[in-house]
Amino acid sequence: MTASANSYRKLPSQADDEAERETYAHLHHVNLIAAAFLLVLALALSWTMLAFEHQQELERCFAAGRHDCVDIPAPPHVGILPPLRAPN
């Protein structure tokens, strides 16, 4: 090989390797943060869409004139309670 053939090849120095590792680590962290943000955004959008769908179901139910559209929980003491006794 001649001197001109070796002149365009740059041998990586230790400083260049260190800088490349730091750059790669930084990009890796930025990509992880971006992926986490997109995941949270997707979850928020899916929750919002489900909430809209539930609201539309309720509106259709009420528009049809039904009265059992919403589940109403029963009170804790369901059933016949014994009458209170008067003190003697």
Q: Please give the single-letter amino acid code of residue 60.
A: R
What pLDDT is attached to residue 85?
74
What pLDDT is attached to residue 88?
64
Mean pLDDT, residues 9-36: 80
- Provide the whole-model pTM: 0.54
Give the model confidence (pLDDT) of 24-83 as tens digits. Answer: 888 999 999 999 999 999 999 999 999 999 999 999 999 999 888 888 877 676 667 666
Domain boundaries along the sequence of the chain = 14-63
| H-helix or E-strand spanning residue 41 | helix 14-63
What pLDDT is attached to residue 43?
98
CA dihedral (52, 55, 57, 63) positive or negative: negative
If one compares 43 and 16, the residue with the highest pLDDT of the two is 43
